[in-house]
Structure 1
């Protein structure tokens, strides 16, 4: 019991970056001898054995605070040099055998540019994004995407990301937009008049260039007004509400003024303003899945959009909560191996993930 308690304390210091060299050597020694059989990698059998060792002396609590305390699963994953993710869940009475998942690769820079004429251009996946300069559209490195015939009228274009895609765009006024997977941004080739207006379906992070014209983002009945600021909007059709989180500056969501560090939840019932966890909200832009007390359904929706899979449930799991972070560049198989440690069972049928 004391040995396992000491192990947890060392893990906490390791995560916080306060561990001494002597303590780090002790930790690495335990892992090499007890968890990894003196190898640099760890497989599922190693994980299960290590979990059993720790749980035998230190049972998992029913509830786990967000970062200060690690569960056994987090301990093993951290020592393995893998992603930190831990769980609070009701123990399952039966453990079902899992079917090996196919090697489904993570999403990446994939998008389609649709011109006003309806012509669609598949954008280069090796590029980070595009820059709109009137009728001309360039990649960020200066290479040309398209150069339409100049006209005096505003032409509307769309940047569309599929499931498993993301892309960046710099609008004509210098505003930068990061578009998440399964999203669409409709924008003009130039701004004129009294406002700068775009329309969003899905999720995007905006860094709005300051200007005298207000910048407006329309999403399924919601309008966000801003002059110059940074914010994230999640407006997927399969979500109950639209969530707008303000990182800096000030915005007005319909008629509700939002301050930095808060987010507005817009739905047919009205607008609710709550404090925002900006690390979680903007994690996708920084290449991470980041969960704090997230439900199983919330986790699966993110995986569904990023890995272009379908998720079905054959059990009604309630009370599961997920905390931690996983890099979005990991194959689906790696992510599912981590999720299995929470007691979740699954099988893959093509691109369909069935959760038990």
Structure 2
């Protein structure tokens, strides 16, 4: 029994010494030190690699940011330069004026591609280059087919009347010698502004803005668009129109001179259609079928006088 107890009893001093020796052996073992050094080198390489990658991406980020800023500067300078150039071209562009003599019709294509047909005795003025606004001036009668452009309104000025559109087809009848100005809409939408103090009207297809120069009133009315545009096909429609107004239409259509010698005849109203290519002599004979009116002519000069 004593022998067994002696074999299983431990010596504290001996155990301490054995643990110390084991630790010292591990600490001084060159293979373990080499492994530790290798692990430290690997860790540092990994850390340095990450630092380099982060630095490279930071540099790339800085370069990209600089490139974006430079591109913005270049584009901004290009756009500003383009705008300045466009404005200089607009400012230096001379106005274009096109006039048609009486009895002659002509066609005009504007800088934006819009189409205009001019009736006899009509004048249109427009800039050679359109800028932020497409503005034209008309004296007489013209039919417009406007190219749609939301960014650049199309403005037609006829005396004190201003018509603003984005894209539409319409007719302007605004001879300076007439007492009225008529804007007739065929398609699209159109806003017509009267003289200062007059109201504005928005036209829908088949409607007409009728401005009386004497009263300064702008009214809205429904019309037959086909008849209003009939001049384009050399057709004439008169609906209770005074003789004085009819005479002016005939002068423009046929390039003739017509005089009403008796002012009492100026207000006589006529209704009629000339759609079969009637010439001026045939039309004058039809007018003189009214028992109150006679006419005589010499070449392109006609005189209407009262039947006594």
Contact 1:246 1:261 in 2 (8 A): yes
After the TM superposition, which residues 26-175 of structure 1 pair with which residues of structure 2 at under 5 Å, given as runs? Answer: 153-175=92-114
Q: Which runs of 5+ in 1 are unaligned?
A: 1-150
**2:142 aligns with one of 201, 204, 229:** 204
After the TM superposition, which residues 289-308 of structure 1 pair with which residues of structure 2 at under 5 Å, given as runs? Answer: 289-308=236-255
Shift of 1:330: 4.2
Shift of 1:258: 1.4
More helix by share: 2
Q: Which has the higher contact order (CA 8 A, sep 6+)?
A: 1
Please tell me whether residue 271 in structure 1 is matched to residue 209 in structure 2. no
Match of 1:132 in 2: none
Shift of 1:352: 2.6
Contact 1:295 1:322 in 2 (8 A): no
Aligned residues: 204
Match of 2:273 in 1: 324
CA offsets per residue over residues 41-75 of structure 1, 9 Å max, x none?
xxxxxxxxxxxxxxxxxxxxxxxxxxxxxxxxxxx
SS in 2 for 1:280: helix
Match of 1:25 in 2: none
Match of 2:175 in 1: 236
Please tell me whether residue 353 in structure 1 is matched to residue 291 in structure 2. no
Shift of 1:351: 3.0
RMSD (Å), alpha carbons: 2.0
SS in 2 for 1:165: coil
CA offsets per residue over residues 151-198 of structure 1, 9 Å max, x none?
6732311110111111011112121111011110001222122x1111
Cα distance in 1 for residues equivalent to 2:136 and 2:269: 38
Match of 2:126 in 1: 187
Instruction: Give the TM-score of the pair, scaled to structure 1.
Output: 0.54
**1:314 aligns with one of 261, 269, 276:** 261
Match of 1:28 in 2: none
Cα distance in 1 for residues equivalent to 2:256 and 2:274: 20
Shift of 1:247: 1.0
